[in-house]
Amino acid sequence: MIAIRPAQDRGTANFGWLDSRHTFSFGEYYDPDHMGFANLRVINEDKVTPGQGFSTHGHRDMEIISYVLEGALEHKDSIGTGSVIRPGDVQRMSAGTGIQHSEYNASKTEPVHFLQIWILPEQKGIEPGYEQKTFTDAEKRGTLRLVGSRDGRDGSITIHQNVDFYAATLNEGNAISHTFANGRVAWLQVAQGAVQLNGQTLAAGDGAVIAQESQITLQGASNTAEVLLFDMAA
């Protein structure tokens, strides 16, 4: 079963400095039919104007992943981490018992475009933590590159949940497949461009529930497409 979540059906928020699209209920956007999927709770597509951003605020008991598509995102937190995240970087912040952080567009002239992803942790009250790794376009081109996992295998970031997080970039016509173990479900998010998922076309911002499928095939349907796949326990 594949159920598509069209980009135009997402919730919206626009504060001038921030233009955001919410795949699942978030902030003032509430939809009881879209509260998340499996352990995936938030996918926000955010565009932040130059020099602006999210001032210091707190989180608890959540795995928060930032995936930059364009521009640069500056991060600072209460455990002493300071970094700038650019395309190719994957950042994981474990909020655990509580963490304060801020996120700003690192540029005074160019916007930043990124995905903010929240995953429910398998255990509450863990020690807050931070991890960031770079995955080049060559590593993701024409293949589903594991960029996050529970055990940090294959050089992926560690996520405190039973989830395998993949990223791929596809040229038009390129096809790749993914096989699911029994009892697994998935969410596919198209970050850029367009793809065909088992013959159904999805464009940027579209998402899809994948359940009771043994295998999927993804084919690039635009010059360059970028997709994220979350393979999770049902």
131 and 143 fall within a common domain: no
pLDDT at 164: 98
Could you tell me the pTM of the whole model? 0.96
99 and 180 fall within a common domain: no
131 and 19 fall within a common domain: yes
Q: How far is CA 30 from CA 5, 26, 91, in A?
A: 15, 6, 27
Domain end residue (candidates: 135, 160, 183):
135
113 and 229 fall within a common domain: no
How far out from the chain centre does Cα 128 lie?
Answer: 20
2 falls within a domain: no
Q: How far apart are CA 214 and CA 218, in angstroms?
A: 14
- Per residue in 35-90, pLDDT (tens digit) is 999 999 999 999 999 999 888 888 899 999 999 999 999 988 898 888 899 999 99
55 and 92 fall within a common domain: yes
Q: Which two tokens stand for residue 69?
A: 């598509």
131 and 155 fall within a common domain: no
36: number of Cβ within 10 Å: 17
Q: Starting from the edge strand earliest in sequence, which strands make up the sheet with 73-77, in order?
A: 53-59, 99-105, 73-77, 82-85
Q: How far apart are CA 137 and CA 167, in angstroms?
A: 10
94 and 145 fall within a common domain: no
Q: How far apart are CA 39 and CA 154, in angstroms?
A: 22
Provide the number of structural domains found in the chain: 2
CATH of the domain at 221: 2.60.120.10
Q: How far is CA 12 from CA 66, 83, 96, 98, in A?
A: 19, 28, 28, 27
The residue written with tokens 């899809």 in the block is 208
Instruction: State which residues form the domain around 228.
Output: 138-233
Domain end residue (candidates: 120, 135, 150):
135
59 falls within a domain: yes
101 and 159 fall within a common domain: no
184 — pLDDT class (breaks 50, 70, 90): very high
Q: How far apart are CA 23 and CA 195, in angstroms?
A: 18
Domain end residue (candidates: 135, 159, 194):
135
130 and 155 fall within a common domain: no
